[in-house]
Amino acid sequence: MAERLVTVFGGSGFVGRHLVRKLVEQGWRVRVAVRDAEGAKFLKPLGDLGQVSCVTANVTHQESIRRAVAGAEVVINLVGILYERGRRTFKAIHTDAAAAIARAAREAGASQFIQMSALGAAKDSPSAYARSKAEGEEQVRAAFPGATIFRPSVIFGTEDGFYNLFGAMARAFPVLPYFTTDAPALRKGANGLPEIDFYGRGGMKLQPVYVGDVTSAMVATLTDAGLRGKTYELGGPQVYSMREVLQQVSFETRRNRCVVPVPMIVAKIQALVLQFLPVPPLTPDMVRQMERDNVVTGTLPGLEAFGIVPEHTSAHLPAYLERFRPLHRQIRRMGNKHT
């Protein structure tokens, strides 16, 4: 299988580097198509000499895409953005570029195409991000009818941008806020008397899925024709509210931070300002996403279709959130002295 080629667009990102590693282990020759080929060379040692190559590709330029997919048996598109800047709009990247890559893959004679979308992708979503993902799926299927589409929930793992972000916040701030639409509020208590509910339902619901499970599912489609051509929703074994996610982070970082609810209107006001930062932590579109839960619907196949038992966050969070604990290096050194 060493001569079989797979092109991975966006292969230097969080999910991409895990996927490249799995593809290499399966004996594939991997061409990583990224904007900065030089910066992606850290992937080359994952394989044997020449097994991983990095090429410069701009997903908004058709000729660049054609060069990247030439000779590939499989093409995988992982490219996505969380906020818009200039010409890099959700439509340009999630819809138009996805369609262009799928079209080029078909014209190049690729036998398989995999598109990574997102859980919650829907053409009627209030979020432009989610709408563009749904439109991208539609365009990909039109360009490459046998495409396989994955819709993961929030993906966690050692280098993720989700739990690590909150770990950094726990280290820097005395409280961890979550945004909610139903708290604080006055509700009838168990005794029938009115009482203040400070927490509500705990903010939006999430179903974090392990990066290793996501990439294992993708790789499985390469060898099992029965798994191809479908849309999958990938979620982990447990649904969490944002409040529960932050409580996890508080515990694993040993920071004992107070997790507090903040009305959604505050998020909307903050987003109006923060959206102009070079890398905005919050935008109006992100706020609209937070107003809907991010869990599997149960109407589409998931990890069970691959025989994958999803990994729990507790199996991985302690290892990579440890670095946010107080004096963790000093504690480790002291422990070593006594062993």
Positive or negative torsion for Cα 290, 292, 298, 301? negative
pLDDT tens profile 248-285: 999 999 999 999 999 999 999 999 999 999 999 999 99
**pLDDT above 60 (res 330):** no
What confidence tens digit (pLDDT) does each residue in 214-241 have? Answer: 999 999 999 999 999 999 999 999 999 9
User: The pTM is what?
Assistant: 0.91
DSSP per-residue codes, 222-244: HH-GGGTT-EEEE--S--EEHHH
Average confidence (pLDDT) over 110-125: 96
Percent of the chain predicted with pLDDT > 90: 89
Q: Count CB-CB contacts under 10 A for residue 97.
A: 24
Q: Residue 339 — very low, low, confident or very high, per pLDDT cuts 50/70/90?
A: very low
Pairing relationship of beta strands 185-188 and 194-197 according to DSSP bridges: antiparallel
**Residue 120 near residue 82 (C-beta atoms within 8 A):** no
Q: Is the pLDDT of residue 293 over 50?
A: yes
Residue 334: per-residue pLDDT: 44
The three-state secondary structure class of 125 is: coil
DSSP at 213:
H
Residue 329's pLDDT is what? 55
Distance CA 134, CA 147 (A): 14
Structure tokens at 200: 């509500």
Distance CA 83, CA 132 (A): 12
Q: What is the pLDDT at residue 199?
A: 81
- Report residue 316: phi and psi, to 5°: -130, -35
pLDDT in tens, 169-225: 999 999 999 999 887 777 777 777 777 777 888 999 999 999 999 999 999 999 999
From CA 277, how far away is CA 271, in angstroms rounded?
Answer: 10
* Cα dihedral value 298, 301, 306, 309, nearest 10: -10
As given in the structure block, the two tokens for residue 172 are: 């820097």
Kindly report which listed range (90-94, 107-111, 199-203, 303-307) carries the lowest average pLDDT score: 199-203
Rg (CA), the chain: 21
For the record, the structure tokens of 244 come out as 């529960």
* In contact, 110 and 69? CB cutoff 8 Å: yes
The reported pLDDT for the residue numbered 328 is 59
Please give the helix or strand (H or E) that residue 317 lies within, else none. helix 317-321
| Predicted local confidence at residue 185, as pLDDT | 73
> How does the average pLDDT of the chain come out, rounded?
93
